[in-house]
């Protein structure tokens, strides 16, 4: 029984109440960060035409971004757990700023690669440290804070391609430089956030650590299970974000605009789900949210390939809502499993999301070429069955708010 009970992390900041201004600031900066990282893929058609790029070279651009954004995150998170650096946040945004300017004005392919790498580095610095700030600012409402932080990123990912379509595509590649203004503003905001976080961090560090730690084997098993659940979620999300438009065009004869509206329903559902998942998790516990989110979405994913147009739109929004609610709960649950390793856990799971999203999209593209786009959605519909693995997670004792 001892290994089945998990104590909540110490509510050392609960007495302060949530710092809503700080949470709003890092959410808006998360939106700016993810707008700029989604800009890279959105301007691929412009880059391909201007530099006469092959698909392989476009793939290398994506790989360069993914490697820096994904692999560096857990390493940076682990390093800053030992030596917290909240003042590094504006420097991460500065890296993104330089990367965007290179994408806008680079005269050679090599400099485009440098721009992609710098945007990835900025993302790798931003996510683990900002997740730590969200926890500091939570006032003990860890799920709500994580949701508010993540919903900014979801919004940025959703509107980035739209901004590219209406600004960069008509005006040309140099118009991407306008987004560097958002990065500069974000860096200024994050400078003040970093100063606040350093003061709060020292106050929290001076208090006794009351966390109850589980046996190492139990923690490792739980982290592996959470990674598999994230894997399942990300593969299905990659199928939707990369190929749902093609699915609706092929099945229902929609035009590009209609297909984009269908994709927007899914993305809007995801944004609402991220916001809801953490808030509900603070009331019922993150383990309950993980159960409902991963396994509970199964009936909807199984139905999606077999219904009509309007039902497909409704199911897309519902799937996005339910599935996305898992991620803030997974991050909070993992952070409570490993007290004092907030940055490493955030870097691991955010980096895992980036990496698996890119790898999954490529693999699903090969499947779609070989067996057809509907096959992708018929097969990935069964992924939520992996939610049964949630039974292997330790229970979380509810202490405090």
Q: 16-207 has which CATH code? A: 1.20.1250.20
Most confident of 101-115, 208-222, 333-347: 101-115
What's the pLDDT at 16? 63
Higher per-residue confidence, 173 vs 62: 173
With cut-offs at 50, 70 and 90, classify the pLDDT of residue 349: confident
The pTM of this model reads 0.74
Lowest mean pLDDT among 17-26, 160-169, 273-282, 368-377: 160-169
With cut-offs at 50, 70 and 90, classify the pLDDT of residue 267: confident
**Please, are residues 88 and 129 in contact by the beta-carbon 8 Å criterion?**
yes
Note the pLDDT tens digit of each residue in 28-54.
999 998 888 877 777 777 888 889 877
Note the pLDDT tens digit of each residue in 118-169.
998 998 888 888 888 888 888 888 888 888 888 888 888 778 777 877 788 7
Note the pLDDT tens digit of each residue in 181-204.
989 999 999 999 988 888 887 766
Q: Does the structure show a pLDDT above 70 at 266?
A: yes
What's the pLDDT at 205? 56
What is the mean predicted confidence (pLDDT) over 45-67? 80
**Highest CATH level, class, for 214-401:** mainly alpha
Share of the chain above pLDDT 90, in %: 24
Residues of the chain within CATH 1.20.1250.20 domain(s) are: 16-207, 214-401
Tokens 């290994």 -> residue: 3
* Side-chain-side CA neighbours of residue 157 (13 Å): 19
**Please, are residues 130 and 30 in contact by the beta-carbon 8 Å criterion?**
yes
Q: Does the structure show a pLDDT above 80 at 348?
A: no
What's the pLDDT at 74? 80
Between the alpha carbon of residue 70 and those of residues 44, 151, 307, the distances in Å are 20, 19, 36
What is the mean predicted confidence (pLDDT) over 271-281? 86
Higher per-residue confidence, 56 vs 222: 222
What's the pLDDT at 400? 36
For 375-385, b/e burial (b = at least 16 CB within 10 A) is: ebbbebbebbe
CA distance 316 to 102: 36
What is the mean predicted confidence (pLDDT) over 168-176? 85
Note the pLDDT tens digit of each residue in 89-122.
898 899 999 999 999 999 999 999 999 999 989 9
Share of the chain above pLDDT 70, in %: 89
**Rg of the chain over CA atoms, in angstroms?**
21
Q: Does the structure show a pLDDT above 80 at 298?
A: yes
Instruction: List phi, psi (to 5°) of 102.
Output: -65, -40
Per the prediction, the chain carries an average pLDDT of 82
What is the mean predicted confidence (pLDDT) over 221-238? 88
Q: Does the structure show a pLDDT above 60 at 15?
A: no
Higher per-residue confidence, 81 vs 142: 142
What's the pLDDT at 353? 67
What's the pLDDT at 11? 42
């Amino acid at each position: 029984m001892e290994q089945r009970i998990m104590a909540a992390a110490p509510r050392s900041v609960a007495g302060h109440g949530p710092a809503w201004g700080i949470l709003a600031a890092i959410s808006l900066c998360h939106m700016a960060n993810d707008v700029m990282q989604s800009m890279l893929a959105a301007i691929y058609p412009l880059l391909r035409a201007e530099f006469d790029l092959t698909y392989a070279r476009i793939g290398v651009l994506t790989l360069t971004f993914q490697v820096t954004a994904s692999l560096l995150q857990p390493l940076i998170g682990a390093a800053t757990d030992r030596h917290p650096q909240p003042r590094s946040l504006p420097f991460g945004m500065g890296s993104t700023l330089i990367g965007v300017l290179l994408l806008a004005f680079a005269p050679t392919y090599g400099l485009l690669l440098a721009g992609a790498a710098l945007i990835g580095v900025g993302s790798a610095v931003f996510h683990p440290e900002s997740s730590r700030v969200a926890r500091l600012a939570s006032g003990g409402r860890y799920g709500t804070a994580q949701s508010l932080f993540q919903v900014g990123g979801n919004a940025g990912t959703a509107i980035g391609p739209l901004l590219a379509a209406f600004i960069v595509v008509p005006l040309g590649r140099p118009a991407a430089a306008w987004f560097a203004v958002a990065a500069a503003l974000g860096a200024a905001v994050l400078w003040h956030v970093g100063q606040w976080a350093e003061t709060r961090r020292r106050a929290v560090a001076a208090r006794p650590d009351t966390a109850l730690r589980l046996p190492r084997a139990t923690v490792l098993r739980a982290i592996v299970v959470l990674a598999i659940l994230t894997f399942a979620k990300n593969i299905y999300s990659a199928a939707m974000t990369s190929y749902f438009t093609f699915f609706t065009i092929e099945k229902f004869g929609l035009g590009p605009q209609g297909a984009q509206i269908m994709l927007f329903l899914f993305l809007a559902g995801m944004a609402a789900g991220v916001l809801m998942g953490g808030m509900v998790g603070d009331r019922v516990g993150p383990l309950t949210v993980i159960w409902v989110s991963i396994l509970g979405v199964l009936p909807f994913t199984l139905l999606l390939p077999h219904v009509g147009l309007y039902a497909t739109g409704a199911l897309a929004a519902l799937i996005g809502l339910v599935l996305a609610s898992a991620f803030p709960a997974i991050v909070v649950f993992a952070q409570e499993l490993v007290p004092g390793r907030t940055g490493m856990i955030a870097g691991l799971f955010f980096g895992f999301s980036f990496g698996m999203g890119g790898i999954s999209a490529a693999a699903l593209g090969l499947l779609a070429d070989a067996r057809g786009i509907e096959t992708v959605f018929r097969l990935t519909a069964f992924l939520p069955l992996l939610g049964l693995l949630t039974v292997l997670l330790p229970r979380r004792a509810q202490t405090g708010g």
